[in-house]
Amino acid sequence: MGAIGNAEWTGVRLSDVLDAVGAPDASDLFVAFTGADEVDVEGEEASFGVSIAMDKARQPDVLIAWAMNGEPLTPEHGAPLRMVVPGYAGVRSAKWLIRIEVRDTPSDAPIQAHDYKLFPADVTSDTADWSQGLTINAMPLNAAICVPGSGESLPAGEVRIEGYAIAYDRRVSRVEVSVNGGRDWQQATFTDDPEAHWGWRRWTLDATLAKGRQHLVVRAFDETGQGQPERPDTMWNFAGYLCTAWHHVDVLVE
């Protein structure tokens, strides 16, 4: 179980802080972040530590943040200071920051070195060589149906279907919804700013549902025209990362 959301962040640009302290700036460097907490990665207790490449660290939207939605950060969101690295997996946005270090190698903390890595389908947890995995940073295009919920019972007739799509540093160009398991598709209407980077674009579609067990599906396309994979098994990896296949929701229409 988990929860996700969009927030408005306030802080200082990491690049301004790097400049202020005269940090070196070269594309082959990394910026590493350490949190005040200890984490357990496969039985190994160590400080929470992650890193990003210098080119990403220098992007203007990468912040050292102290406020979320106009309020000081709460403890669970990383008070007093946390990183916000938009477009990247949440794990790179270190909370409870105690140290920022410019290095010539990625962080060697276990979270960076032995977690959040993508392996080919033929690699298992027993055969994985963690130094060879692809570090998961930029997030892929994704979309989900939020309403109705899976397994819900609905009255026959017109139903409002709602959800979100996200393409990070790209735009979501369109969202398509099927109410018959993917045979026919209708375009949803966006309710969020199409130009907004990093966050969700919420969408709605009013569709007429026939009686019986109905199979709702959503898929998004980005501004390059690329879509999501149809089936989750096409992107199988033993750790279960980046499963951005079309989202399905089954409902019972009575």
Ligand X SMILES: Nc1nc2c(c(=O)[nH]1)N[C@H]1C(S)=C(S)[C@@H](COP(=O)(O)O)O[C@H]1N2
Least distance (Å) between residue 116 CB and Mo ion: 8
Q: How far is CA 181 from CA 7, 80, 147, 254, in A?
A: 33, 47, 16, 18
Contact flag: residue 39 with ligand X (CB under 6 A):
yes
Total binding residues for Mo ion by CB under 5 A?
2
Strand, coil or helix: what is 112? helix
Distance CA 87, CA 143 (A): 15
CB of 46 vs ligand X, minimal distance in Å: 11
The answer to whether 198 and 168 have CB atoms below 8 angstroms apart is yes
Q: Which is nearer to ligand X, 95 or 202 (CB)?
A: 95
Residues in region 89-118 near Mo ion by CB under 5 A: 90-91
Give me the 71-110 binding string for ligand X, x by CB under 6 A, dash otherwise: -----xx------------xx-xxxx--------------
DSSP, res 225: S
Partners of residue 12 on adjacent β-strands = 64
Of the candidate spans 34-42, 86-94, 97-105, 200-208, the one that interacts with Mo ion by CB under 5 A turns out to be 86-94
In the complex with ligand X, which residue's Cβ is closer, 90 or 232? 90
Q: What token pair was written down for 171?
A: 């735009």
Contact range with ligand X by CB under 6 A, out of 22-30, 35-43, 160-168, 216-224? 35-43
- CB nearer to Mo ion: give 90 or 194: 90
Q: How far is the CB of 86 from ligand X (least distance, A)?
A: 12
- Candidates 139, 126, 185; CA nearest to 165 is 139
23 makes contact with ligand X (CB under 6 A): no
Cβ proximity to Mo ion, 36 vs 91, nearer residue:
91
Q: Which residue is nearest to Mo ion (CB)?
A: 90
How many CB atoms within 10 Å of residue 146?
14
DSSP secondary structure, 160-212, as one string = EEEEEEE-TTSPEEEEEEESSTTSS-EE-EE-S-TT--SS-EEEEEEEEE-SE
Tokens of 225: 């025209």
Residue 15 touches ligand X, criterion: CB under 6 A:
no
C-alpha 251, offset from chain centre: 26
Q: Which is nearer to ligand X, 76 or 122 (CB)?
A: 76
Looking at the Cβ atoms of 90 and 212, the one nearer to Mo ion is: 90
SS3 assignment, position 75: helix
The footprint of ligand X (CB under 6 A) covers 35, 37, 39, 48, 76-77, 90-91, 93-96
Q: Give the footprint of Mo ion on this chain (CB under 5 A).
A: 90-91
